[in-house]
Amino acid sequence: MALTSSAQRKKRSVEVGVFLGGTYYIGEINPTAHLNQFTKPAGGFVFRYNLNSRLSARLNFLAGSIEGHDSFSTSEAALQRNLNFKSPINELSVQLEFNFFEYEIGNEKRKFSPYLFLGIAGFKFNPQGQLANGAWVALQPLGTEGQGLAGGASKKKYNLIQLSIPFGLGAKANLSKNIGISFEWGMRKTFTDYLDDVSKKYYDPTILAATRGETAAVLSDPSIGTDPGFRNTGRQRGNQTNKDWYSFIGIALTIKLKDKRETCPGV
């Protein structure tokens, strides 16, 4: 009877809710700055299955946008390079959370805990570059580093759907009997260097203009402060040894739907 009573007190529960916050990226056009002027609004939905008071499995759908402009850099080389981009980020992820303390919505003895999370995600992006007239143009179809062309960065254009590894930390607390709040900051390790469409070397603009159009040539190399007759062809445009990262940071409000009590076999 004592064992049965102990097993029944171990609860599983389900939470659903919304996420509101921001997103940003780390890459060639924003190499080190976190939470700067390029942090953009983000939102999404959260489904959390609490295995017990220490472990939870979570399904997220988050959406936001990332952006970067060399014109805001303090580096002379970046200012001269003069590249820019923006891109939507739509992410679907599965994560596992570990609570440092026992936590349960509606339980006054288990009402707060910091936590860590780790998971796997699929995300879709689509970098765009801005022309002098203010118009934004999708960059991947242009192959700005000669993708798909002889001597280009790769034999084909990069994929706009990729995998990433979300990880980070947060803290969660009870707001009421059935409502909880959590604040978290998470980074995403990606396996692409093209969130910003910048990775390898400058491609010959005359070939780009002839094969992909003048817009491709302009967005490939909008450098300023150089001799009009100078060509960057073959020079370094990005750093292919470092993959790009993106981040979501914000608050999630969740509602507990129901409890599932575990019982001993045969009870």
**What's the CA gap between 142 and 211, in Å, rounded?**
9
Domain 2-130+160-193+243-261 has CATH 2.30.30.40: no
Task: Find, among 58, 82, 59, 80, the residue nearest to 69 by Cα.
Answer: 82
Residue 231's pLDDT is 78
Residue 152's pLDDT is 94
Residue 3's pLDDT is 42
Taking the domains of the chain in order of start, what are their residue ranges? 2-130+160-193+243-261
Residue 183's pLDDT is 98
Backbone angles phi, psi at 195, to 5 degrees: -55, -35
Residue 1's pLDDT is 39
Residue 106's pLDDT is 87
Residue 265's pLDDT is 52
Residue 197's pLDDT is 98
Residue 7's pLDDT is 41
**What's the CA gap between 244 and 118, in Å, rounded?**
18
Q: Residue 216 belongs to what H/E stretch? A: helix 214-220
Q: Report helix, strand or coil for 152.
A: coil
User: pTM, whole model, 2 decimals?
Assistant: 0.89
Cα-Cα-Cα-Cα dihedral of 204, 225, 76, 154, to 10°? -10
Task: Find, among 49, 172, 37, 26, the residue nearest to 102 by Cα.
Answer: 172
Burial 37-73 (b: 16+ CB within 10 A, else e): ebbbebbbebbbebeebbebebebebbbbbbbbbeeb
* pLDDT tens, residue order, the chain (267 aa): 344 444 445 578 999 999 999 999 999 999 999 999 999 999 999 999 999 999 999 999 999 999 999 999 999 999 999 999 999 999 999 999 999 999 999 888 999 999 999 999 999 999 999 999 999 999 999 999 999 999 999 999 999 999 999 999 999 999 999 999 999 999 999 999 999 999 999 999 999 999 999 999 999 999 986 666 677 899 999 999 999 999 999 999 999 997 655 545 554
* Structure-token match 């370094």, residue found: 236
